[in-house]
Structure 1
Amino acid sequence: MAEALRQETYLPGADEGHQVAEVYDFLKAHEDAGRGRPDVPCFLSGNTPDDRVELPVDLYRVLRQVAEALQAGLAVSVAPVTKTLTTQQAAELLGVSRPTVVRLLDDGEIPFERVGSHRRVTLRDLLAYRDRRRVAQYAALEATAIDDDDDVNVVLDRLRTARREVSQRRRGGSR
């Protein structure tokens, strides 16, 4: 590679808005036809008919997300990330402190390996943990949803019980 990999941020160009909209519409139409993913492979083509290469599914997804963001007028940052992360990099990706990541590793929430005295986490395992955590958070929010018919005292009692259970789990004990 002639150019070193680095983080780069792209802004939607005012003069490119129509072209981005066309790409976005093209990708969206093919996804709609294929129920979420293109029903036929997509290709990146050059100037001649025989100058083309099939776009891998993961690269297609990146292109789709970038086109959607640019279409919405948002900037897009692309940052190369290694597949193996330090605890500090993992903490930054999760938006938590490094000691929190270390605790998650030691508690077995996220698999890791030791390289000498350092812990290393694979990006795949970290993203899987983030997805599991997000699902659990949405489930917790849904469990605390209040219907108009609910008795306020019953709801408050349920919330107190849930708060007590979470507190006990954090302390690592059960009562």
Structure 2
Amino acid sequence: MSATTLARTYLPGDENDLQRLHDLFDRPLRDHPRYYLVGADQDDRTEVPAPVYQLLQQVVGAMRLGQAVTIQPQSRVLTTQQAADLLGISRPTLVKLLDAGEIPFERVGTAHRRVALGDVLAYAERRRQEQYEAIAATGVEDDEDLDEVLAGLRAARVGN
């Protein structure tokens, strides 16, 4: 296994350096911002792709708050166990979601399923939005039955 496939945790560094980086990332963005990494030579520079910029922005923000950051490379195609672990659910629960059509998957051979990382992340985001909507809808009125509201919240939480 190469060093690029292993998880690695980074501890916060110098607070002043992190603050300067945070200030750079915190500036208002233009419509089409362009950022560059510059090497030791004047002509040695390359544009930073948007996903890398967003990663750096998140890492710097966390480290500035004194948090350690772990980078864990992830395959773009996951086993059902990997997808379940990523979602924080059991593998049987994930299989039920796959069978219900909640998350697309492909079969490898006759028994194994593979799930695209993007589809798992999209499902997680949909669930998060549903949970936020359910929380927003918790404004219980005086004439509403609290038990019914709680049952609705439980159903939204477990995806029923």
1:156 aligned to 2:146? yes
Cα drift, residue 158 of structure 1: 4.6
C-alpha distance 45-107 of structure 1, shift in aligned 2 (>3 A):
same
Aligned to 2:128: 134
User: Structure 2 unaligned runs (5+)?
Assistant: none
Query: Once superposed, which parts of structure 1, at least 4 consecutive aligned residues long, lie more than 6 Å away?
Result: 163-166
Helix, strand or coil at the partner of 2:33: coil
Structure 1: gaps of 5 or more residues: 171-175
Residue of structure 1 equivalent to 2:20: 22
Following TM superposition, by how much is the alpha carbon of 1:71 offset from its aligned partner in structure 2, in angstroms? 0.6
Q: Which residue pairs with 2:92 in the alignment?
A: 99
Provide the C-alpha distance between the structure 2 equivalents of 1:82 and 1:165, rounded to a whole number of angstroms.
32
Residue 45 of structure 1 corresponds to which residue in structure 2?
Answer: 38
Partner of 1:6: 6
Which range moves more in the overlay, 134-143 or 154-163?
154-163
Instruction: Give the partner amino acid of 2:59.
Output: V
TM-score (normalizing by structure 2) = 0.88
Residue of structure 2 in register with 1:173 after alignment: none
Provide closer, same or farther for how the CA distance between residues 163 and 131 of structure 1 changes in structure 2, counting only shifts above 3 A: closer
CA contact (8 A) 2:98 2:104 kept: yes
Q: CA deviation at 1:164?
A: 9.6
Equivalent of residue 79 in structure 1, options 68, 72, 85 = 72
Q: Which amino acid aligns with 2:15?
A: G
What is the rounded CA distance, in whole Å, between the counterparts of 1:11 and 1:22 in structure 2? 17
Q: CA deviation at 1:154?
A: 1.9
1:143 deviates by 1.1
Instruction: After superposition, give the CA deviation of every residue in 1:62-111 in whole Å (9 maximum; x if it has no partner).
Output: 00000000011111000000000011101100000000000000000000
Contact 2:37 2:45 in 1 (8 A): yes
Q: For the aligned residues, what is the CA RMSD?
A: 2.2
Higher-Rg structure is: 1
- Sort the Cα spacing of 1:162 and 1:5 in 2 relative to 1 into closer, same or farther, 3 A: closer
Partner secondary structure for residue 5 of structure 2: coil
- CA–CA separation in structure 2 for the residues paired with 1:158 and 1:6: 47
Equivalence for 2:58: 65
